Structure 1
Amino acid sequence: MDDERELVRRGYDAISYRYRDDDAEDGQYGPWLDELRQRLPARGTVLDLGCGCGVPVSRFLVGAGHRVTGVDISQVQVDRARRLVPGGVFIRADATELDLPAASFDAIVCLYALIHMPLRAQPGLIGRMATWLRPGGWLLVTVGSTAWTGTEDNWLGGPATMWWSHADDATYRTWLERAGLAVVGEQFVPEGQGGHTLYWARRP
């Protein structure tokens, strides 16, 4: 498991700027973030899990007046996030080892990050995320649409190997519901020959 996490950490350290530059637009994230903003209270608290360089999620939410804590496994990504989004708080950590207080957040955003974590650690993390949400809090997460684990060398034309591991969307729905979350939205997000599934889930 440590080797898998190390591949991801080294990979994003190496290709951070290839993955997203400082001035990247909100792109496909824009409609999701607009919807999240409508669901959040004023001055809400948000955990951006797998925050990358802080763009666009943390930047958008801080700009909308929310208090954001970002977590990422890559030191390069965290350093960039601190520079690009000075109004947020950013921590370098392995998300699967996080220990946060219960009922700390009005929302958790985890976009294209859970799928970089060891599959056997994902159900437990989803369960902990549910406890970190306040009652009525939202989880916005992208997961795998079909089950797959594998690597890609020279990902994005960079010098590093990247690694992914994900279940299928039905399994993720089961894990979300077992964590006590109500799934209120599901959307297929195409990418290349396949795609991901976006879930909106809420703590009752």
Structure 2
Amino acid sequence: MSTEQKTAFDLIGRRYDESFVERDAQLGEGAWLLGQLGRPARVLDLGCGSGLPTAKQLLDAGVEVVGTDESAVMLELAETQAPGGQYLHRDLRDLADLGEFDAAVAFFSLIMLPKADIPPLLRGVRELLRGPRLLQIAMVLGDFDRFPISFLGVPTEVCAYPPDELRQVVEDAGFETMELREVAAEAEPNRIEVQIYLRARAV
């Protein structure tokens, strides 16, 4: 992630949570994951942001969460809004010294990376997984790389995949796709976007 993108989320801060009108699908993914995990369980939240909703949902259910994010402002919010997690200020591609996990989630964080960085990241995540070895990803439907946008008035760059291409990238990294679905959600007031949710298991 570039310096400009890190600065973007420092600027966005609390407005990120306030912008989301509808998060039912993401909460549903968290509920599914909780149903797959025994206890104790440990989950890596890549690009955890403010801790809402996923880190808080998992922590409230007694799951250990390690969250990584490049924005110090977002991590400060996570400490307050989803207390009890271990939050690390680092590039989400930096997987060193994190230990092992039952599952990893990346909800709308991989979109901030160049596409070239995603396959090696997924292969690295696979090596950290144990037990059920689950992976969940959420992206926005599209087909572009390092595309300039304005999010909440702050410029940044994003990537997106068509569903079949995302499935292939995940499977090439050593995972088996369990489910892939598209959901239309109101991401900001009066703006509907199509989101992709993918569930996979390392093989």
* Shorter-normalised TM range: 0.7 to 0.9
Distance (whole Å) between structure 1 residues aligned to residue 25 and residue 179 of structure 2: 17
The residue that corresponds to 2:175 in the other structure is 181
Equivalent residue number for residue 197 of structure 1:
196
- Structure 1 unaligned blocks of 5 or more: none
Residues 75-104 of structure 1, C-alpha deviation per residue, up to 9 Å, x if partnerless? 1001111122221000111112332456x1
- Which residues in structure 2 correspond to 1:1-204 (within 5 Å)? 5-21=2-18, 27-100=24-97, 104-149=100-145, 150-153=147-150, 155-156=151-152, 158=153, 160-191=154-185, 192=191, 194-204=193-203
Distance 2:47 2:111 in 1: 10
Look up the match of 2:188. none
Q: Which amino acid aligns with 2:109?
A: A
> 1:87 is paired with a residue of what secondary structure?
coil
* Partner SS for 2:65: strand
Change (3 A) 1:145 1:46: same
Amino acid at match of 2:9: Y
Cα deviations by residue, 1:143-163 (Å, 9 ceiling, x for unpaired) = 34331131223x22x4x2122
Asked whether the 8 Å contact 2:14–2:77 carries over to 1, the reply is no
Counterpart of 2:173, as a letter, is A
Task: Give the gaps of 5 or more residues in structure 2.
Answer: 186-190
Q: Scaled by the length of structure 1, what TM-score is found?
A: 0.87
Q: TM-score, normalised by structure 2?
A: 0.87
Runs of at least 4 residues off by over 4 Å: 191-194
Secondary structure, in 3 states, of the residue corresponding to 1:95? coil
Distance 1:26 1:87, change over 3 A: farther
How far apart in 1 are the matches of 2:28 and 2:106? 15
Greater mean deviation of Cα atoms: 59-68 or 183-192: 183-192
